[in-house]
Structure 1
Amino acid sequence: MSFPIDQRLVADTHPLGELPLSIVLLMDDARFPWLILVPRIAGARELVDLDEADRHSLMGELTHVGRALETLLTPDKLNVAALGNIVPQLHVHVIVRYTTDAAWPQPVWGHGERIRYEAGARARTLARLREALAPTLT
């Protein structure tokens, strides 16, 4: 991945792959299945910074990722958000939520202590997600 990603995102995630517009990252918190899409648009901070074609592409990628997560993990709810209060680089969270998860019904941000993926679980999770997002994920 040659596109520069904010170091806070790099520190908190594992690379999953790339879609035509976005880099896809797995948040390193095993409590919540949580992907982040980072559009490869230099200087973009807000969704409104994308031109119409790129906004359309991003929405298509979010739909693709959301549907794949629904099929793979059968969530009660998908949370999709582009906040940027801490990391200004445009990125969109897609978080699988269950009524039984540790933070329900509150947001996952700041809830409890993160549980990092164990190496084997991380590898299995990344492989399952890559398969679910194929063939568009490279």
Structure 2
Amino acid sequence: MNAAADFALDPRLAADTQPVADLPLSRLLLMDDARYGWLVLVPRRAGLRELADLSRADQHRLLDEIEIARTALAALGPYDKLNLGALGNVVEQLHVHVIARHRDDAAWPGPVWGHSPRLAHAAGALAERLQRLRGALPP
């Protein structure tokens, strides 16, 4: 069985995000919440729930891709703190949140998830944010 070929994005992640790019291991997604610079990395392997489910090589690749996501978020502007999270309590599919936080954001200093309803990007703002993120990715 080819785990990459059998990969399917969890419907809840698909509903809440916009695709940015496919990296060597992960699908890079933008959370559709205009209040935050919030990316999600989902390794394109079927059946993963925990970081330990990845091979050692893929664990290291995921760390490299977290750095790619951080660099892309930095292209949107400076931030005060970078938050990383891989909880999986609601969406069991392995995914890693990479969030650029600002001391004046709506959820500071708490976590961004569960903090009031999402504020969807306006169409033009979403297209511009996606373009900037994609422009910051390595070739």
Which TM bucket (shorter chain)? over 0.9
1:132 lines up with 2:136 in the alignment: yes
Write the letter of the residue equivalent to 2:133.
L
Cα distance between partner residues in 2 of 1:109 and 1:81: 10
Cα distance between partner residues in 1 of 2:72 and 2:29: 15
Q: Which of 35, 39, 59 is residue 35 of structure 1 equivalent to?
A: 39
1:74 is displaced (CA, Å) by: 1.1
Cα-Cα RMSD: 1.2
Residue 119 of structure 2 aligns to a residue whose secondary structure is: coil
Aligned residues of 1:45 and 1:84 also touching (Cα < 8 A): yes
Residue equivalent to 2:91: 87
Cα distance between partner residues in 2 of 1:71 and 1:16: 14
1:111 is displaced (CA, Å) by: 1.0
Residue 45 of structure 1 aligns to a residue whose secondary structure is: coil
Unaligned runs of 5+ in 2: none
Cα distance between partner residues in 2 of 1:64 and 1:11: 23
1:71 is displaced (CA, Å) by: 4.4
1:68 is displaced (CA, Å) by: 2.9
Aligned residues of 1:72 and 1:132 also touching (Cα < 8 A): no
**Could you list the per-position Cα deviations for residues 81-116 of structure 1 after superposition, in whole angstroms to 9, with x for gaps in the alignment?**
101000000000001100011111000111122110
Deviates more, 1:43-52 or 1:104-113: 104-113
Residue 117 of structure 2 aligns to a residue whose secondary structure is: coil
Question: Taking structure 2 as the reference length, what is the TM-score of the superposition?
Answer: 0.92
Residue equivalent to 2:112: 108
Cα distance between partner residues in 2 of 1:83 and 1:53: 21
1:1-138 mapped onto 2 (5 Å cutoff): 3-135=7-139
Write the letter of the residue equivalent to 2:65.
E
1:67 is displaced (CA, Å) by: 2.6
Residue 99 of structure 2 aligns to a residue whose secondary structure is: strand
- Structure 1 stretches of at least 4 aligned residues deviating more than 4 Å after TM superposition: none
**What is the count of residue pairs matched by the alignment?**
134
Unaligned runs of 5+ in 1: none
Aligned residues of 2:72 and 2:136 also touching (Cα < 8 A): yes
Aligned residues of 2:38 and 2:100 also touching (Cα < 8 A): yes
Cα distance between partner residues in 2 of 1:64 and 1:120: 24
Aligned residues of 1:47 and 1:55 also touching (Cα < 8 A): yes
Question: Taking structure 1 as the reference length, what is the TM-score of the superposition?
Answer: 0.92
